[in-house]
Amino acid sequence: MAAIVKGSGNIFADLGHRDAETHALKAELVRRIAVLIEQEQLTQAVAAERMSISQPDVSKMLKGQFRPFSIERLLRLLNALGQDVEIAVKAPARRCARGKLIVRAA
């Protein structure tokens, strides 16, 4: 029987991907885009039109093929779907060598 190992909370880090934090951040932004599309019951074609991208790009993004999308572009897609995006820079609650990237619902 295989041992069960608790994950770090970042699947990309657990799988050994370089830039794991960036991948996790992009995945969360895409998840939020997908939720908005579902909540508004948009077709991929309508969502694509609102975001000024192609329907095939929407399809690829929603299937997890979001590597070509920069974080900035994903933030702009959220704006195009009517979302405000805030970026806060602050000192961490406890001293650590490196800060964290977090996406939080308002």
DSSP-assigned letter for residue 92 = -
Could you tell me if residue 13 is inside a domain? no
pLDDT at residue 96 in the model = 66
Structure-model confidence comparison of residues 33 and 96, the more confident one:
33
Mean of per-residue pLDDT scores for the chain: 87
Q: Decide if 4 is inside a domain.
A: no
Please say whether the beta carbons of 29 and 75 come within 8 A: yes
State yes or no: pLDDT of 104 exceeds 80: no
What single DSSP character describes residue 84? -
Least confident of 5-14, 16-25, 75-84: 5-14
* Tens-digit pLDDT profile for residues 38-64: 999 999 999 999 999 999 999 999 999
Number of domains in the chain: 1
Query: Could you give the C-alpha distances from 58 to 27, 30, 37, 77, in angstroms and in order?
Result: 14, 10, 10, 10
Other CB atoms within 10 A of residue 66 CB: 19
Residue 66 domain flag: yes
Q: How many CA atoms lie within 13 A of 74 on its CB side?
A: 23
Q: State the residue range of the domain holding 67.
A: 18-80
CA distance 57 to 105: 25
Position 9 in a domain: no
Instruction: State the CATH number of the domain containing residue 60.
Output: 1.10.260.40
Residue 29 is encoded by which pair of tokens? 């932004």
In a domain, residue 63? The reply is yes
